[in-house]
Structure 1
Amino acid sequence: MRPEVQAFVTDGPLPGWDASEEEIARRVAQLEAIPKPVTGEEARALVSCFGPDDCYGVAWTLLHLIETGPDPVLTAAPGPDANEWHQRLYDRAVNGGLIP
Structure 2
Amino acid sequence: MTREEARALVDCFGPDDCYGVAWTLLHLIETGPNPVLGERPAPDANEWHARLWRRADNAGLYPAT
TM over 0.5: yes
Q: Which amino acid aligns with 1:92?
A: R
Alignment correspondent of 1:58: 21
CA RMSD of aligned residues (A): 0.8
What are structure 2's unaligned runs of at least 5 residues?
A: none
Alignment correspondent of 1:91: 54
Q: TM-score, normalised by structure 1?
A: 0.60
What are structure 1's unaligned runs of at least 5 residues?
A: 1-37
Alignment correspondent of 2:2: 39
Q: Count how many residue pairs are aligned between Structure 1 and Structure 2.
A: 63
Which consecutive segments of 4 or more residues in structure 1 shift more than 2 A? none
Alignment correspondent of 1:32: none
**Bigger RCO of structures 1 and 2 (CA < 8 A, at least 6 apart):** 2
Report the identity percentage.
78
1:57 and 1:71 map into 2 onto residues whose CA distance is 22
Q: TM-score, normalised by structure 2?
A: 0.91
Quick check: 2:34–2:56 contact (8 Å CA) kept in 1?
A: no
